[in-house]
Amino acid sequence: MKITAVEPLAVDRYLFVKVHTDAGITGFGESGTWGFLEASEAAIQKFGRYLVGKDPLLIEHHWQYMYRFAHFRGAAIMGALSALDIAMWDIAGKHFGVPSYQLMGGQVRDKARVYYHVLGDSRDKLVNGVTEAVEAGFTAVGHLTPFLDEERNVPYFKTHVEKIGDAIDAVRLYREAAGNADICIEIHRQLTPAEAVVLGRGIEQYHPMFYEDPTLPDNLDAMAYIASKLAIPIATGERIHTIHEFQMLLERRAVQYVRPDVCMAGGLTHTKKIAALAEAHYVGVIPHNPLGPVSTAACLQLAACIPNFAIQEYPLGEHEPPKSEIVKQPLQLENGFLIIPDRPGIGIELADDALEKYPPISKEVDTRLHYDGSVVDQ
């Protein structure tokens, strides 16, 4: 079996890849570099020229060949490599007539607990979103920011006491609305390490399942400092790409839940290794997933075959258009758990008319500013 073509598919706000073979088997993957999909698409095309004519079952060899081809990588390159890796695992599963996870050690669970995204630009919308998620059967609610999902064209300013006090009160309301469901607090890197400690101590009483990206992840020592001061678990890792970076994060005891993105941290080949590193440190895995349905399907393949899977991020709209219409058969959700599919490959196929119905949407550069004109993270 040989690869005959590599076809990037920009659909709506997602970037997929379809890898064709001379055996008539096709595989699907997705790039997670959502802010720079045009760059990732160019990298897919470049790697594709290498892959044409090659055996798609030599997955580890191709991974190493593409990864070590040049010294300069970054998110756009790793997103492309991840998409192609997932597609080759999809082909391998279909070739052998088994789900891809059977080729990665076999199944350790048949369903994956998920936490649902709740978004809102007002406190009432966020609290109501928590209530609705719990009523819908979810046992965990996440992507919960205590700072509101405001428009980026609105200048930001709060005093320290307002910022921290309002955030603590928001988490209190989320806990009251969630009852015994877990709440997953998402900070989106908006705090300094000192602020992150103050807020973290203020919300410990509400027992969040985790406290995600409380500060910018570039400095691993800063994340370790925050973790050392708090009694709530830190979750981070969506912005790093390699086992080497995750090892540095783990050896600093900076994290209790790693958050590798299957579509940006090297696909299934590499995230399986990251999960093994985490397992050696008694650290859970919560795959990052704000993307499309191919990403969700790939995450489930990982969840199926690792012992330290904790919970899966379940983004908005998986069961609604456009996501439900760009795949032939959506994944199945029951009582807050995704059923791990037993179909060959990664268990999902793009619809033939996906691109026609949902042309690509480019994400333009749009960064929020502070009231004083400086840049703030959101």
Structurally, what CATH architecture does the domain formed by 105-342 represent?
A: Alpha-Beta Barrel (3.20)
- pLDDT tens, residue order, the chain (378 aa): 999 999 999 999 999 999 999 999 999 999 999 889 999 999 999 999 999 999 999 999 999 999 999 888 899 999 999 999 999 999 999 999 999 999 999 999 999 999 999 988 889 999 999 999 999 999 999 999 998 777 888 888 999 999 999 999 999 999 999 999 999 999 999 999 999 999 999 999 999 999 999 999 899 999 999 999 999 999 999 999 999 999 999 999 999 999 999 999 999 999 999 999 999 999 999 999 988 999 999 999 999 999 999 999 998 888 889 999 999 999 999 999 999 999 999 999 999 999 999 999 988 998 989 999 999 887
From the CB of residue 119, how many other CB atoms can be counted at a distance below 10 Å? 13
In the three-class reduction of DSSP (H, G, I as helix; E, B as strand; rest coil), residue 368 is classed as coil
Give the CATH superfamily of 3-101: Enolase-like, N-terminal domain (3.30.390.10)
Whether the pTM exceeds 0.85: the reply is yes
Residues assigned a catalytic role: 188, 288
* CATH 3.30.390.10 domain locations along the chain: 3-101
Paired tokens of 166: 């309002």
List residues bridging with 309 in a β-sheet: 285
* CATH 3.20.20.120 domain locations along the chain: 105-342
